Amino acid sequence: MPAIGLSFNAQLFKDITLEAEFTGFTVGSAAYVYDAELFIGYQAHKNILVSAGLKTFTLHGDEDDDEVDFKVGGSFIMVRATF
């Protein structure tokens, strides 16, 4: 299924960035999925970003007598290497 999303990136200081992303889709009120995260990163090297933030993932589906609700989220630490 195709998803739609938004992304935001701001350079707060020379080596500090703030990033946010939201992606999701819906099939009316019967089903939806979304994924969101917000993190702050430190550019430790020109190819290495060390960051920490919050992330959430939600899935909902409802069909007649069947229903699913799944939600997971929390904090994370990440190292991103670019080449």
Q: Where exactly are the structural domains of the chain?
A: 4-81
Residue 18 has a pLDDT of: 96
Is the sign of the CA dihedral 69, 73, 78, 80 positive or negative?
Answer: positive
Residue 41 tokens, joined: 């990163």
Q: Is the pTM of this model over 0.85?
A: no
Residue 41 buriedness (CB in 10 A; 0-12 / 13-18 / 19+): buried
Does the domain formed by 4-81 have CATH 2.40.10.220? Answer: no
How far apart (Å, rounded) are the C-alpha atoms in residues 49 and 40? 10
Condensed to tens digits (0 to 9), the pLDDT of residues 24-43 reads 998 877 899 999 999 999 99
